[in-house]
Structures are given as structure tokens and as C-alpha cells.
Structure 1
Amino acid sequence: MNRIKEILQRKAEINEMLKDEKRSKDLDYKALETEIRELNEELEELQTRERLMKETEQLNNGEVEGRTIETFNGNNHEKRELGTDSIEYRKAFMDYVLKGEKIPAELRADQVTYTKDVGSVIPETVLNKIIEKIEAVGMILPLVTRTAIKGGVTLPTSSVKPVATWVAEGKGSDKQKKSTGSITFAYHKLRCAVAVSLEVDTMALPVFEATLINNVVEAMTKAIEQAIISGSGTGQPKGILTETPEDGQALDVDEITYQTLLDAEAALPLEYEANAVYCMTKKTFMKYQGIKDADGQPIARVNYGISGKPERVLLGRPVILCNYLDSFSTAEEGSPFAFLFNFSDYVLNTNYQMGVKKYEDNETDDMVTKAIMIADGKVVDKNSLVVLKKGAPTP
């Protein structure tokens, strides 16, 4: 090209000017430096354009065969990974954004990028998170008493305590009998298994496997907590609400009022009120929160501890929220919608703690993720249980 010859000629002239000691004293070095830099940049662009034109012409004429871009790393001979999702392109794109460096020509198309093309230019990365519907679990399990005794072993209980009597001098008291009962823990197996095909397991992202394991563990926790609240006792732990409350500790409620809580507190024996808590759904609690006493103060309070976690209180007593009960508005007549209970009086016995395993089904080649647990649970002392049931509406 004529322009390339002109640039080379001008650079030679500047070089001669710098060699001439007489003329060099009167030169503007800053201007010459700027001119040389601009000439070099222009020359580089022209030479690159000329080289690409020659290669294209040769390729069109069949003089040069198509080449595959490859990299060599030691003795390993591997094809270079291309495409916008390749590690090399993503690094080059990051350098372009942060440092303004151009993306190498072999990693990009020699075209102009418009706004409609942005989706195919930005690296196609995947965020390591799967968005799922959240379920409320894990509120009940930390509150119960956990044991790990052998199945079939009985736990002694007693409902009678000796009574002391005042006696006169030289007199004795009646001998009293101390009787005991027992609670026997059985074997109940809880199992959750999820299978995926071998192809999915091989090609899935690591986040898929991690999420799958979390789902299995969450399902196990939900099943255990559901059994603690309302389990039938046949093939599963016996739930709290399956127990028959003591006389006067099952209340029929036809309307959510302040008097409802007063009746529940009155039904709770004095010796059991220290650690008893309310258990209900959030919708039921919000109905109580709307009630005010005679002084206009709400009877329900929501405090925030040091960690900022809400702490709900009814008449100074903690409230545990869960979704294993019906709300007052949706409960059928005669169904419990809330209860008072000391959860430490419920014993969950686990012979085999929850274990997560992964194995291959030889028949189908499916990869199975499973969790197994052997457990049983029972109420060992029901005297702190006060159940609120939905009664018939007031005519």
C-alpha cells in the first residue's frame, strides 16, 4: 500500500533528523514522540489489514486449507475450547470490561455488535442456585427431648407421689405404695428416596446434587415434625394431639377472644406452667394479635432478640408457629387449632440417626439418593397439654 510506504519513509526522515546533532537541538521532541506513536499505530493497523486480506484471498482460491486453532500444553495435545462459554473467552471478556483490553480476533466474530446481540455475547454462565418454594420446617424438632436407647426398652413413669403427713409425738404414719407404669419405644423406619437417570446425574451441575440432598433431608424433617404433632402411633411416632388431655384441659372455642387465652391459662396446672408454650399457625396468632385488653394494649406481642429474630408472645408465654395444624378460620368443628404443651415432655427416640446414601440401581442404571431413619416418639407426661378445639359457632 502507498500509505505504508509513506509511513515508513516518514519514520526514516525522523530517524535522520534525530541523528543530525546540529538539527537535533532545535527539534520539538514531544511533538515528534506523539507523531511516532501515531505512525506506529496506523502502521500496525494497515499491516494487519493487508495480512488478513491476503489470507482471505488465498483461502478463497484454495491455496490454504482451513485450520483448526489448537493449543499445546507439554505433551498433551488438545483442541482449543471455543465459544462464548469457554474459560478463555470469559477471561478475555473480563479483561475487556475491567482493563479495556480487546478480545482476541480468534475468539470473536469480525462483526459489529448491536444491542439485540448482547444476549449471545455476554458469557453464558450459570448461577449456582436453584430457586425453590420455601417450606417452614425445623421449628418443632429442636424443642423435644432426644434419646438414643435401644428399641423395645421401656421407660418407667409414675403418676403417684408419696404424701407427707403431720404426726403427733410417738406416732407413725401410714405406709404408702409407689407404683410405676412404662412407655415402650418401638421401631419405625422413615425413608425418602429420589432417583435420577444416569444421564442426568452425569451431566447435572454440582448445585443440582447439593439441592437434591437438601430436599431429601428437608422432607425427612417435615415428616418427623408432622408425626410429633399429629402422628397416629401406628407405623410412626405417636403425636401430641393424639393423646387424650386430662379432664378440663380440652377447650371448645367458638370465637377468638381474650377470654379464650384466660381459659387456656386457667386449665394449665400451676406446676406445669413454667415451660409450657403455645403452638399454632401464624394466621391464628395474627388473630390474637388484633385483640386488645381493656386498656387498649394488644395481648399479643412480637419482640426482637439480639439476633433480630422475631419472638412472639401471648400473655408472657412464648408462641411456636408451625404449619402442622389447621388455622382457626379453616379448621373443622371439633378439630384442634392450637395447644399448650411443654415440648420437653415429648421424647423422640432414634436408634439410627438420619443418614444420606447414594447408590446405583443395577436394573435401570438410575442414581438413587436416599435417607433412612429409625425412630419412635411418645408423650411421656401429658399433664402440660391443653388443647384448643374449634367449637360450634354461636347462634
Structure 2
Amino acid sequence: MNRLEEIRQRRAELRAMLEDTTQLNLNLDEIETELRALEAEETELERRTAILNTVPAATTVPVPVAEQRTQGAEVFDSMEYRNAFMQYVMNNTPIPAELRQNENTLTTDIGAVIPPTVLNKIVQKMENVGMVLPLVTNTNFKSGLAIPTNNVMPVATWVAEGKGSERQKASLGNIQFGHFKLQCRVSISLETSVMALSAFENMISNNVSKAMVKAIENAIINGTGNGQPTGILKDAAAGVKVDVKDFDYATLVKAEAELPVEYEEGSVWVMTKKTFMNIAGMTDKNGQPIARVNYGMGGKPERSILGRGVLIVPYLKNLDAAAVGDIVAFIYRFEDYALNTNYQIGVKTYEDNETDDIVRKSTMICDGKPVDTSSLVKLAKKA
């Protein structure tokens, strides 16, 4: 029994004595003095315990197995772990063993899990900075699990009174997510020896989110599926292809006509800024511009072609730089693309023996695949 338990037990005994009306000869002054002393000692012990818990490398107090925290999320989100994580990244100080009890869930080359507080900032920044990432469907399935996808839209039919419609059987396909690693280097200045926790966490979230979002978005569009997610444009046979030698009104109308009406909602044009500006100068036979640019409440341009929104990305080639057969623009409904990740990002610190540099590497596990390509209309450069 530790001292705190002894104090609480003694206070309970004194309370029982006071509640017992049969005891008439109690020394109330002594009881009151003892209670105040016990309360003061208890407050002091609780304060010492609270201070001790904030020390990152507090390993002098053994942690009994029965009292170890079993919930990894609670451990990783504690102030104790956040401070230990900062010391690990900044000074390569090992994280205490009691804070790494769930390390077996990580891949072999991850040194430490980014705390959930910082991770939430990273995900939020990725969604704010990214152009494509906020539009796709995020999932959290286990690797190797086959996910069924419905390939047939049910059709309603008119029937006579007293009769029922024919039962429709939907054919089901499936997609299977892999286990790919995405890595980036976390830039930390070695000259920074003292840094506040809030500043450190903000720096980590900025560096990781900027690097990760570019790689993920490029993979969503152009991914090969080999060691990385499968891109929307990976399958040459997917969707409808429209050949284009020069952008003109007829070509854009033809591409719009290929988009099925049931995929109208949510589908957007995707192209580079240079491609859009070439289209922006085009007019129809009445002199009306085909592409329009409006400025929203935040001052950001809102682009559209034939009334459909335009997503400007740096992950395609413009018509002049593209080779014959390259996709220079496309229409797609991004909610039909599934990005599978648990957003558990780890950091490993190591020394490059050739350059003597301290490298801080961030790793995330993810995969992605287009679930439905029925809304895909591709514009390919024609010879």
C-alpha cells in the first residue's frame, strides 16, 4: 500500500468516527488537526506525481505491468509522449519503453509514431493544401481485404396493377488494397537546440504535410500500382478517350457528351493551368467565352468550362509539352476513387555515414484505387 492509499484509508477511519454518534468523548481538535495535515500531505503527493508525469525521460519510477496503459492512442496522445517524441526527433533521445508498448504494430523501419495531436494537424493541412486529396473517398480497410463494388445500377420499371417487377441481380466485383510505404524527409535545423513544443509540432505538421500531399495526389492521378497507389489514368482501357490536336469548341463539347448523365454531379475537369488558359481565350460562334473565371469570397479564382468546374493540377502535361497519346486533360468524379490509409505516420532518425548528416524520415502506409471509372473522359494528344 502506498502513502496516498494510507492517507485515504485514515481519512475514511476518521470520518467513520465522526459519524458514529455513540462516541461522545472524541477530541475534535485533534481530529480536525489530523485531517488538515492528511489533506495537505495528499495535495503535496498528488502535485509531485503530476510533475513527475510531465518529465519525458522519467524512468526512475518502475511501472508495474498491471498498471501499464494498454490503449495506444491514449499513450501516444499524452503530454509525456509528445515531449518524448520531440526529444527523439530533435536530439535522437530514445523514447522510454513504457511509451512504446504498441511499437509492434508499426513497420520495421519506423522509429516513433507521430502523436495524434500532431497527426490531426498534418491531416488537416494535407486536406487544406491539397487540390485532389479533399475530393477522394478516404477508407480505412485492412491490407489484403477484398472490398466488393457494385457494378450495376438498379432500374425502376412500370408494372401493371397486381404485378411486381422482375428481381434484378447486381453483379459484384471487388478491389483489394495493398500495403505501400510513402516516405519523406523531415527538415529539422540542427542549430535549433531549444524549441517550444507548440512550435515544434507546427513545424513537423508543415513539413510532413507538404511533402506527403504532393506524392499522394500525383499517385492518385498517375500512380502505376507498382509500389504505389493505382492512378486514375493507369488503365488505358478505362473510361472514354477523345483525341485532341488543338483545343476547340467542338472537342470540348464532344468530351462533355461522353460523360454519362448519372455522373454529372460531382465530376470536374482536370488540367494544368496553361491548358486552361489556352481554353480560356476560346469563344463560341456567338463570341461567348467557353471557359470562365470568377473570383469567390476568398479572392480565389473559381474556374469552369461549359459550366463544369475545373481542377488545376501540376500532375499533367500541357498540350505543347505532351507526347502523342499522353493525357492532357480529363473529366472525372473523384469520389469514385478510394484512398485507403489509417494516417498513422511514423518518424525514424538516423545518421547518414557518407555525409554525416542527421536524417529524419517520415513514413506512412497507404494504397488507392479507382473504384469506378464510368465518369472518366480522357483527352489525349493526337498526332
Bucket of the pairwise TM-score, normalised by the shorter protein: 0.5 to 0.7
Distance 1:176 1:195 in 2: 56
1:31-63 per-residue CA deviation (whole Å, 9 max, x = no partner) reads xxxxxxxxxxxxxxxxxxxxxxxxxxxxxxxxx
Deviations 1:40-90 (A, max 9, x none): xxxxxxxxxxxxxxxxxxxxxxxxxxxxxxxxxxxxxxxxxxxxxxxxxxx
1:132-151 residue pairs with structure 2 within 5 A? 138-151=130-143
Q: Does 1:339 align with 2:330?
A: yes
Identical residues among aligned pairs (%): 53
Residues 144, 176 of structure 1: CA spacing in aligned structure 2 closer, same or farther, 3 A cutoff?
closer
Q: Tell me if 1:221 matches 2:213.
A: yes
CA distance in 2 between counterparts of 1:202 and 1:209 reads: 17
Kindly state the Cα deviation for residue 165 of structure 1 after the two structures are TM-superposed.
4.3
- The 2-side partners of 1:172 and 1:362 are apart by 72
* 1:257 partner letter: D
Are the structure 2 counterparts of residues 288 and 370 from structure 1 closer, same or farther at C-alpha, using a change threshold of 3 Å?
same
* 1:311–1:166 distance in 2 versus 1, CA, 3 Å: closer
SS of structure 2 residue aligned to 1:347:
strand
Aligned pairs, number:
252
Cα 1:172–1:361 change in 2 (3 A) is same
Match of 1:265 in 2: 256
Give the 3 Å change call, closer, same or farther, for CA 138–348 of structure 1 in structure 2: same
Alpha-carbon separation, structure 1, partners of 2:170 and 2:200: 58
Q: Kindly state the Cα deviation for residue 144 of structure 1 after the two structures are TM-superposed.
A: 1.0
SS at match of 1:242: coil
Cα pair 2:221 2:233 within 8 Å, conserved: yes
Aligned with residue 300 of structure 2, among 293, 306, 309: 309
Residue 208 to residue 354, structure 1, CA distance change in 2 (3 Å): closer
CA contact (8 A) 1:245 1:382 kept: no
Task: Show the counterpart of 2:349.
Answer: 359
Counterpart secondary structure, 1:240: coil
Deviations 1:260-313 (A, max 9, x none): 110011000011011100000001001101101122121111101111111111
The runs of 5 or more residues in structure 2 that have no matched partner are 1-128
In structure 2, give the amino acid aligned to 1:271.
E
137-146 vs 333-342, which deviates more? 137-146
CA contact (8 A) 1:278 1:318 kept: yes
Q: Call closer, same or farther: CA 1:259–1:174 in 2, change over 3 Å.
A: same
The residue identity in structure 1 corresponding to 2:257 is A
TM alignment of 1:222-241, pairs within 5 A: 222-241=214-233
Q: Tell me the TM-score normalised to structure 2 length.
A: 0.59
**CA pair 170-213 structure 1, distance change in 2 beyond 3 A:** closer
User: Aligned AA for 2:373?
Assistant: K
Tell whether 2:372 aligns with 1:373.
no
| 2:151–2:170 Cα contact (<8 Å) kept | no
2:147 to 144, 152, 155: 155
Q: SS of 2:209's equivalent?
A: helix
CA distance in 1, matches of 2:318, 2:352: 46
Secondary structure class of the residue paired with 1:319:
strand
Question: RMSD value over aligned CA atoms?
Answer: 3.0
Opposite residue 230 of structure 1, the aligned amino acid is N
Q: 1:284 is paired with a residue of what secondary structure?
A: helix
Distance 1:141 1:173 in 2: 41
